[in-house]
Amino acid sequence: MTETAIRFEGAGKTYPGGTAAVEALDLEIPRGSLTVFVGPSGCGKTTSLRMINRMVEPTSGRVVVDGRDVSSVPAHELRRSMGYVMQQSGLMPHRTVVDNVATVPRLTGVPKRRARERARELLATVGLDVQLAERYPAQLSGGQQQRVGVARALAADPPVLLMDEPFSAVDPVVRQDLQRELLDLQQRLHRTIVFVTHDIDEAVLLGNRVAVFATGGRLAQYASPEELLRAPADDFVADFVGRDRGFRSLTFDSARDIPVHPVAVVRPDGSPGVIGPGGDVPGGWSLRVDDDGAPRGWVRTGAEDDPVVGGTLHRPGGSLRSALDAALSSPSGLAVVVDEAGRAVGVMDPAEIVAAVEDARLGGRAHR
Protein backbone atom coordinates (compact mmCIF):
# COMPACT_ATOMS: atom_id res chain seq x y z
CA MET A 1 0.00 0.00 0.00
CA THR A 2 1.35 3.39 -0.85
CA GLU A 3 1.09 6.07 1.73
CA THR A 4 -0.38 9.43 0.84
CA ALA A 5 1.92 12.39 1.43
CA ILE A 6 -0.23 15.19 0.02
CA ARG A 7 -4.00 15.18 -0.41
CA PHE A 8 -6.17 17.77 -2.10
CA GLU A 9 -9.69 17.58 -0.70
CA GLY A 10 -12.04 19.61 -2.86
CA ALA A 11 -9.38 22.31 -2.92
CA GLY A 12 -10.45 25.17 -5.17
CA LYS A 13 -9.20 28.67 -5.83
CA THR A 14 -11.10 31.65 -7.13
CA TYR A 15 -8.90 34.76 -7.23
CA PRO A 16 -10.23 38.11 -6.14
CA GLY A 17 -11.86 39.49 -9.27
CA GLY A 18 -13.53 36.19 -9.97
CA THR A 19 -11.06 34.07 -11.96
CA ALA A 20 -11.81 30.45 -11.11
CA ALA A 21 -8.24 29.16 -11.35
CA VAL A 22 -8.79 25.70 -9.86
CA GLU A 23 -12.08 23.80 -9.60
CA ALA A 24 -12.62 21.70 -6.47
CA LEU A 25 -9.58 19.43 -6.78
CA ASP A 26 -9.43 15.94 -5.31
CA LEU A 27 -6.04 14.32 -5.65
CA GLU A 28 -3.77 12.04 -3.63
CA ILE A 29 -0.02 12.19 -4.06
CA PRO A 30 1.85 9.11 -2.84
CA ARG A 31 4.94 9.53 -0.68
CA GLY A 32 8.21 9.13 -2.54
CA SER A 33 6.62 9.50 -5.97
CA LEU A 34 7.22 11.99 -8.73
CA THR A 35 3.83 13.41 -9.65
CA VAL A 36 3.47 15.73 -12.62
CA PHE A 37 0.83 18.41 -13.12
CA VAL A 38 0.54 19.01 -16.85
CA GLY A 39 -1.78 21.06 -19.01
CA PRO A 40 -1.91 24.12 -21.22
CA SER A 41 -1.08 27.56 -19.87
CA GLY A 42 -3.59 29.11 -17.48
CA CYS A 43 -5.28 25.91 -16.36
CA GLY A 44 -4.32 26.21 -12.70
CA LYS A 45 -1.15 24.15 -12.37
CA THR A 46 0.89 26.78 -10.54
CA THR A 47 -2.07 27.72 -8.36
CA SER A 48 -2.54 24.08 -7.36
CA LEU A 49 1.16 23.63 -6.64
CA ARG A 50 1.24 26.74 -4.48
CA MET A 51 -1.71 25.58 -2.42
CA ILE A 52 0.63 22.87 -1.10
CA ASN A 53 3.02 25.29 0.59
CA ARG A 54 0.47 28.04 1.27
CA MET A 55 1.84 30.50 -1.25
CA VAL A 56 -1.82 30.37 -2.32
CA GLU A 57 -4.67 29.76 0.13
CA PRO A 58 -7.59 27.74 -1.26
CA THR A 59 -10.99 29.48 -1.30
CA SER A 60 -12.75 26.13 -0.87
CA GLY A 61 -11.74 22.72 0.45
CA ARG A 62 -8.31 22.04 1.88
CA VAL A 63 -4.87 20.56 1.31
CA VAL A 64 -3.55 17.97 3.74
CA VAL A 65 0.17 17.21 4.08
CA ASP A 66 1.24 14.33 6.30
CA GLY A 67 -2.24 14.23 7.77
CA ARG A 68 -2.30 17.90 8.71
CA ASP A 69 -4.44 20.58 7.09
CA VAL A 70 -1.78 22.97 5.81
CA SER A 71 -3.80 25.99 6.94
CA SER A 72 -3.02 24.89 10.50
CA VAL A 73 0.74 24.79 9.90
CA PRO A 74 2.69 28.06 10.08
CA ALA A 75 3.73 28.96 6.52
CA HIS A 76 7.44 29.33 7.40
CA GLU A 77 7.50 25.85 8.96
CA LEU A 78 5.71 24.39 5.96
CA ARG A 79 8.08 26.01 3.48
CA ARG A 80 11.12 24.81 5.37
CA SER A 81 9.91 21.27 4.80
CA MET A 82 9.44 21.85 1.07
CA GLY A 83 12.03 22.77 -1.52
CA TYR A 84 10.73 25.05 -4.26
CA VAL A 85 12.22 25.40 -7.73
CA MET A 86 10.91 27.85 -10.32
CA GLN A 87 11.45 28.49 -14.00
CA GLN A 88 13.81 31.35 -13.20
CA SER A 89 16.30 30.01 -10.71
CA GLY A 90 15.62 32.97 -8.37
CA LEU A 91 19.22 33.03 -7.17
CA MET A 92 20.61 35.99 -5.27
CA PRO A 93 22.76 37.83 -7.83
CA HIS A 94 25.28 39.27 -5.36
CA ARG A 95 26.16 35.97 -3.74
CA THR A 96 28.34 33.25 -5.17
CA VAL A 97 26.79 29.99 -6.24
CA VAL A 98 28.05 28.16 -3.17
CA ASP A 99 26.75 30.87 -0.84
CA ASN A 100 23.37 30.85 -2.58
CA VAL A 101 23.03 27.19 -1.67
CA ALA A 102 24.63 27.55 1.78
CA THR A 103 22.11 30.25 2.75
CA VAL A 104 19.44 27.64 3.38
CA PRO A 105 21.34 25.50 5.94
CA ARG A 106 22.65 28.76 7.48
CA LEU A 107 19.04 29.79 8.19
CA THR A 108 18.57 26.65 10.25
CA GLY A 109 21.67 27.39 12.29
CA VAL A 110 24.30 25.29 10.55
CA PRO A 111 27.78 26.88 11.04
CA LYS A 112 29.12 28.67 7.95
CA ARG A 113 31.94 26.27 7.20
CA ARG A 114 29.74 23.20 7.47
CA ALA A 115 27.00 24.91 5.40
CA ARG A 116 29.46 25.62 2.59
CA GLU A 117 30.73 22.04 2.68
CA ARG A 118 27.18 20.80 2.41
CA ALA A 119 26.51 23.24 -0.44
CA ARG A 120 29.48 21.86 -2.38
CA GLU A 121 28.21 18.30 -1.89
CA LEU A 122 24.81 19.34 -3.18
CA LEU A 123 26.28 21.10 -6.21
CA ALA A 124 28.07 17.85 -7.06
CA THR A 125 24.83 15.91 -6.49
CA VAL A 126 23.04 17.96 -9.14
CA GLY A 127 25.88 17.53 -11.60
CA LEU A 128 27.43 20.97 -11.38
CA ASP A 129 31.18 21.33 -11.86
CA VAL A 130 32.64 22.33 -8.47
CA GLN A 131 34.83 24.85 -10.30
CA LEU A 132 31.71 26.95 -10.75
CA ALA A 133 30.95 27.19 -7.03
CA GLU A 134 32.76 30.52 -6.56
CA ARG A 135 31.13 32.21 -9.54
CA TYR A 136 28.14 34.52 -9.45
CA PRO A 137 24.81 33.37 -10.91
CA ALA A 138 25.08 35.70 -13.92
CA GLN A 139 28.31 33.92 -14.87
CA LEU A 140 26.47 30.63 -15.38
CA SER A 141 24.37 29.35 -18.28
CA GLY A 142 20.62 28.95 -17.86
CA GLY A 143 20.95 25.19 -17.41
CA GLN A 144 23.68 25.60 -14.79
CA GLN A 145 21.57 28.13 -12.91
CA GLN A 146 18.67 25.67 -12.83
CA ARG A 147 21.01 23.05 -11.36
CA VAL A 148 21.94 25.51 -8.62
CA GLY A 149 18.22 26.13 -8.04
CA VAL A 150 17.68 22.40 -7.54
CA ALA A 151 20.69 22.16 -5.21
CA ARG A 152 19.33 25.03 -3.15
CA ALA A 153 15.90 23.42 -2.96
CA LEU A 154 17.55 20.26 -1.63
CA ALA A 155 19.70 22.12 0.89
CA ALA A 156 17.25 21.87 3.76
CA ASP A 157 16.90 18.17 3.03
CA PRO A 158 13.14 18.54 2.56
CA PRO A 159 10.91 15.48 2.16
CA VAL A 160 8.84 17.37 -0.43
CA LEU A 161 10.11 19.14 -3.54
CA LEU A 162 7.84 21.46 -5.52
CA MET A 163 9.06 22.25 -9.02
CA ASP A 164 7.27 24.75 -11.25
CA GLU A 165 8.38 24.43 -14.89
CA PRO A 166 12.00 24.24 -13.76
CA PHE A 167 13.35 23.21 -17.17
CA SER A 168 11.06 25.18 -19.48
CA ALA A 169 13.45 28.02 -20.17
CA VAL A 170 16.53 25.99 -21.12
CA ASP A 171 17.33 24.67 -24.58
CA PRO A 172 16.18 21.16 -25.53
CA VAL A 173 19.57 19.44 -25.24
CA VAL A 174 20.27 20.81 -21.76
CA ARG A 175 16.67 20.07 -20.79
CA GLN A 176 17.20 16.40 -21.62
CA ASP A 177 20.29 16.33 -19.39
CA LEU A 178 18.39 17.96 -16.54
CA GLN A 179 15.49 15.53 -16.93
CA ARG A 180 17.79 12.51 -16.84
CA GLU A 181 19.58 13.87 -13.80
CA LEU A 182 16.32 14.51 -11.98
CA LEU A 183 15.33 10.88 -12.59
CA ASP A 184 18.74 9.71 -11.31
CA LEU A 185 18.45 11.95 -8.30
CA GLN A 186 14.97 10.68 -7.50
CA GLN A 187 16.16 7.07 -7.72
CA ARG A 188 18.67 7.87 -5.00
CA LEU A 189 16.64 10.27 -2.84
CA HIS A 190 13.01 9.10 -3.13
CA ARG A 191 11.50 12.47 -2.32
CA THR A 192 7.88 13.36 -2.83
CA ILE A 193 8.19 15.56 -5.90
CA VAL A 194 5.40 17.57 -7.49
CA PHE A 195 6.54 18.79 -10.89
CA VAL A 196 4.64 21.25 -13.09
CA THR A 197 5.10 21.38 -16.86
CA HIS A 198 3.10 22.26 -19.97
CA ASP A 199 5.05 19.68 -21.97
CA ILE A 200 3.30 16.31 -22.23
CA ASP A 201 6.49 14.54 -23.31
CA GLU A 202 8.28 15.79 -20.20
CA ALA A 203 5.30 14.68 -18.09
CA VAL A 204 5.28 11.18 -19.55
CA LEU A 205 9.04 10.86 -19.21
CA LEU A 206 9.30 12.00 -15.60
CA GLY A 207 6.03 11.17 -13.89
CA ASN A 208 5.15 8.10 -11.88
CA ARG A 209 1.70 9.61 -12.09
CA VAL A 210 0.44 12.46 -14.22
CA ALA A 211 -2.44 14.82 -13.49
CA VAL A 212 -3.75 16.45 -16.67
CA PHE A 213 -5.37 19.83 -16.02
CA ALA A 214 -7.87 21.25 -18.48
CA THR A 215 -8.99 24.79 -19.15
CA GLY A 216 -10.84 26.25 -16.18
CA GLY A 217 -8.75 24.38 -13.63
CA ARG A 218 -10.52 21.06 -14.07
CA LEU A 219 -8.64 17.83 -13.40
CA ALA A 220 -9.24 15.87 -16.60
CA GLN A 221 -7.29 12.71 -15.74
CA TYR A 222 -4.93 11.40 -13.09
CA ALA A 223 -3.16 8.25 -14.17
CA SER A 224 0.16 6.59 -14.94
CA PRO A 225 1.85 7.84 -18.13
CA GLU A 226 1.11 4.49 -19.71
CA GLU A 227 -2.63 4.70 -18.99
CA LEU A 228 -2.70 8.27 -20.24
CA LEU A 229 -1.32 7.28 -23.64
CA ARG A 230 -3.41 4.15 -23.98
CA ALA A 231 -6.70 5.27 -22.54
CA PRO A 232 -7.18 9.04 -22.44
CA ALA A 233 -10.24 9.81 -20.31
CA ASP A 234 -11.84 12.24 -22.75
CA ASP A 235 -11.33 14.19 -25.97
CA PHE A 236 -9.44 16.95 -24.17
CA VAL A 237 -6.82 14.53 -22.86
CA ALA A 238 -6.63 12.63 -26.16
CA ASP A 239 -6.03 15.89 -27.97
CA PHE A 240 -3.51 17.12 -25.42
CA VAL A 241 -1.57 13.86 -25.34
CA GLY A 242 -1.38 14.34 -29.07
CA ARG A 243 -0.53 12.52 -32.23
CA ASP A 244 1.37 9.25 -32.30
CA ARG A 245 0.12 8.29 -28.87
CA GLY A 246 -0.44 4.72 -30.03
CA PHE A 247 3.12 4.52 -31.26
CA ARG A 248 4.48 6.33 -28.19
CA SER A 249 2.68 3.94 -25.86
CA LEU A 250 4.97 1.17 -27.17
CA THR A 251 7.61 2.81 -24.94
CA PHE A 252 5.96 0.91 -22.10
CA ASP A 253 6.22 -2.53 -23.70
CA SER A 254 9.30 -4.67 -23.53
CA ALA A 255 10.90 -6.17 -26.63
CA ARG A 256 12.61 -8.84 -24.60
CA ASP A 257 10.61 -11.75 -26.05
CA ILE A 258 11.42 -10.97 -29.67
CA PRO A 259 14.04 -13.40 -31.02
CA VAL A 260 17.47 -12.18 -32.09
CA HIS A 261 18.84 -13.63 -35.31
CA PRO A 262 22.36 -13.77 -36.74
CA VAL A 263 23.43 -11.18 -39.31
CA ALA A 264 26.01 -11.14 -42.09
CA VAL A 265 28.73 -8.55 -41.42
CA VAL A 266 31.56 -6.90 -43.30
CA ARG A 267 34.62 -5.95 -41.29
CA PRO A 268 36.72 -2.81 -41.92
CA ASP A 269 39.25 -4.85 -43.96
CA GLY A 270 36.40 -6.00 -46.23
CA SER A 271 36.29 -9.55 -44.87
CA PRO A 272 32.82 -11.08 -44.46
CA GLY A 273 31.53 -12.84 -41.36
CA VAL A 274 28.50 -13.56 -39.23
CA ILE A 275 27.55 -12.13 -35.82
CA GLY A 276 24.89 -13.47 -33.51
CA PRO A 277 23.25 -16.70 -32.40
CA GLY A 278 22.96 -19.81 -34.59
CA GLY A 279 20.27 -20.04 -37.25
CA ASP A 280 19.55 -18.81 -40.75
CA VAL A 281 21.30 -15.64 -41.79
CA PRO A 282 18.97 -13.25 -43.63
CA GLY A 283 20.29 -12.62 -47.15
CA GLY A 284 20.54 -9.53 -49.31
CA TRP A 285 22.27 -7.22 -46.85
CA SER A 286 25.41 -7.16 -44.67
CA LEU A 287 26.00 -4.98 -41.67
CA ARG A 288 29.24 -2.99 -41.72
CA VAL A 289 31.00 -3.11 -38.35
CA ASP A 290 34.11 -1.39 -37.03
CA ASP A 291 37.04 -3.10 -35.32
CA ASP A 292 35.10 -3.25 -32.05
CA GLY A 293 32.05 -4.79 -33.73
CA ALA A 294 29.95 -1.61 -33.51
CA PRO A 295 27.51 -1.09 -36.42
CA ARG A 296 28.56 1.43 -39.10
CA GLY A 297 25.75 1.09 -41.65
CA TRP A 298 24.74 -1.46 -44.25
CA VAL A 299 25.88 -2.73 -47.65
CA ARG A 300 23.79 -4.60 -50.21
CA THR A 301 25.13 -7.98 -51.25
CA GLY A 302 26.91 -7.43 -54.56
CA ALA A 303 27.22 -3.68 -53.98
CA GLU A 304 29.81 -3.72 -51.17
CA ASP A 305 31.48 -0.55 -52.46
CA ASP A 306 28.27 1.39 -51.99
CA PRO A 307 27.63 1.61 -48.23
CA VAL A 308 24.30 2.84 -46.87
CA VAL A 309 23.86 4.72 -43.59
CA GLY A 310 22.32 2.62 -40.82
CA GLY A 311 19.22 3.16 -38.71
CA THR A 312 18.64 3.54 -34.99
CA LEU A 313 19.95 0.79 -32.73
CA HIS A 314 18.03 -1.38 -30.31
CA ARG A 315 19.75 -1.56 -26.93
CA PRO A 316 19.48 -4.13 -24.13
CA GLY A 317 16.27 -3.65 -22.16
CA GLY A 318 14.89 -1.44 -24.91
CA SER A 319 11.18 -1.03 -25.53
CA LEU A 320 9.01 -2.26 -28.33
CA ARG A 321 9.02 1.31 -29.63
CA SER A 322 12.80 1.20 -29.87
CA ALA A 323 12.74 -2.17 -31.68
CA LEU A 324 10.09 -0.99 -34.13
CA ASP A 325 11.95 2.25 -34.77
CA ALA A 326 15.19 0.33 -35.33
CA ALA A 327 13.45 -1.79 -37.98
CA LEU A 328 11.62 1.10 -39.66
CA SER A 329 14.77 3.22 -39.86
CA SER A 330 16.98 0.40 -41.08
CA PRO A 331 17.73 0.27 -44.82
CA SER A 332 17.61 -3.54 -44.68
CA GLY A 333 14.39 -3.55 -42.65
CA LEU A 334 16.21 -5.56 -39.98
CA ALA A 335 16.46 -4.01 -36.51
CA VAL A 336 20.08 -3.98 -35.36
CA VAL A 337 20.51 -5.11 -31.76
CA VAL A 338 23.59 -3.98 -29.82
CA ASP A 339 24.95 -4.85 -26.35
CA GLU A 340 25.74 -2.44 -23.49
CA ALA A 341 29.08 -1.65 -25.12
CA GLY A 342 27.45 -0.80 -28.45
CA ARG A 343 28.65 -3.94 -30.29
CA ALA A 344 26.24 -5.59 -32.72
CA VAL A 345 24.82 -8.85 -31.36
CA GLY A 346 22.30 -9.66 -34.10
CA VAL A 347 19.09 -8.45 -35.72
CA MET A 348 15.35 -8.65 -35.18
CA ASP A 349 12.97 -9.56 -37.96
CA PRO A 350 10.44 -6.79 -38.71
CA ALA A 351 7.59 -9.33 -39.03
CA GLU A 352 8.36 -10.64 -35.54
CA ILE A 353 8.44 -7.10 -34.16
CA VAL A 354 5.08 -6.31 -35.73
CA ALA A 355 3.67 -9.54 -34.29
CA ALA A 356 4.87 -8.44 -30.83
CA VAL A 357 3.26 -5.02 -31.38
CA GLU A 358 -0.02 -6.75 -32.23
CA ASP A 359 0.29 -8.98 -29.14
CA ALA A 360 0.82 -5.92 -27.00
CA ARG A 361 -2.18 -4.21 -28.55
CA LEU A 362 -4.36 -7.21 -27.82
CA GLY A 363 -3.41 -7.04 -24.17
CA GLY A 364 -0.63 -9.60 -23.81
CA ARG A 365 1.58 -6.78 -22.76
CA ALA A 366 5.08 -7.63 -21.63
CA HIS A 367 5.90 -4.88 -19.19
CA ARG A 368 9.31 -3.48 -18.58
Ligand X SMILES: Nc1ncnc2c1ncn2[C@@H]1O[C@H](COP(=O)(O)OP(=O)(O)O)[C@@H](O)[C@H]1O
Which of 83, 52, 77, 76 has the alpha carbon at shortest distance from 155? 83
* 206 CA to centre of own chain: 3
Which residues are CB-neighbours of 191 under 8 A, at least 6 positions away? Answer: 32, 158, 159, 160, 161
Interaction partner, residue 331 (ligand X, Mg ion, none; CB < 5-8 Å by kind): none
> Burial code of 17-43, b = ≥16 C-beta within 10 A, e = fewer?
eeeebbbbbebbbbeebbbbbbbeeeb
Interaction partner, residue 187 (Mg ion, ligand X, none; CB < 5-8 Å by kind): none
Footprint on residues 31-50 left by ligand X (CB under 6 A):
39, 41-47
Q: Nearer to ligand X by C-beta: 17 or 74?
A: 17
Segment lying near ligand X (by CB under 6 A), choices 17-25, 252-260, 298-306, 343-351: 17-25
Interaction partner, residue 47 (ligand X, Mg ion, none; CB < 5-8 Å by kind): ligand X
CB of 58 to ligand X, least distance (A): 12
Query: What span, in angstroms and rounded, lies between the C-alpha atoms of 312 and 54?
Result: 47
Strands 192-197 and 34-38: parallel
CB of 73 to ligand X, least distance (A): 22
Q: Is 326 exposed, middle or buried (0-12, 13-18, 19+ CB in 10 A)?
A: buried
Which residues are CB-neighbours of 179 under 8 A, at least 6 positions away? Answer: 167, 202, 205, 206
**Using rule CB under 6 A, residue 15 touches ligand X:** yes
Inter-residue contact 330 to 310 (CB < 8 Å): yes
Instruction: Point out which residues bind Mg ion (CB under 5 A).
Output: 46
Interaction partner, residue 108 (ligand X, Mg ion, none; CB < 5-8 Å by kind): none
**Using rule CB under 6 A, residue 261 touches ligand X:** no
CB of 145 to ligand X, least distance (A): 21
Binding mask 43-82 for ligand X (x = CB under 6 A): xxxxx-----------------------------------
Q: Nearer to ligand X by C-beta: 42 or 61?
A: 42
Which of 133, 144, 198 has the alpha carbon at shortest distance from 171? 144
Query: Coil, strand, or helix at residue 77?
Result: helix
Strand runs labelled E in the chain: 4-14, 20-30, 34-38, 60-65, 68-69, 82-85, 160-164, 192-197, 209-214, 218-223, 263-266, 272-275, 285-289, 295-300, 313-314, 335-338, 344-348
CB of 170 to ligand X, least distance (A): 18
CB of 285 to ligand X, least distance (A): 50
Interaction partner, residue 276 (Mg ion, ligand X, none; CB < 5-8 Å by kind): none
CB of 160 to ligand X, least distance (A): 19
Q: Nearer to ligand X by C-beta: 20 or 366?
A: 20
Interaction partner, residue 96 (ligand X, Mg ion, none; CB < 5-8 Å by kind): none
Q: Nearer to Mg ion by C-beta: 46 or 319?
A: 46
Query: What span, in angstroms and rounded, lies between the C-alpha atoms of 348 and 288?
Result: 16
Inter-residue contact 38 to 198 (CB < 8 Å): yes
Q: How many CB atoms lie within 10 A of CB 338?
A: 19
Query: What span, in angstroms and rounded, lies between the C-alpha atoms of 196 and 163?
Result: 6
CB of 47 to Mg ion, least distance (A): 8
Q: Nearer to ligand X by C-beta: 53 or 322?
A: 53
Segment lying near ligand X (by CB under 6 A), choices 14-22, 141-149, 178-186, 221-229: 14-22
Interaction partner, residue 127 (Mg ion, ligand X, none; CB < 5-8 Å by kind): none
Segment lying near ligand X (by CB under 6 A), choices 12-20, 203-211, 230-238, 288-296: 12-20
Size of the site for ligand X (CB under 6 A): 12
Instruction: Give contact residues for ligand X (rule: CB under 6 A).
Output: 15, 17, 19, 21, 39, 41-47
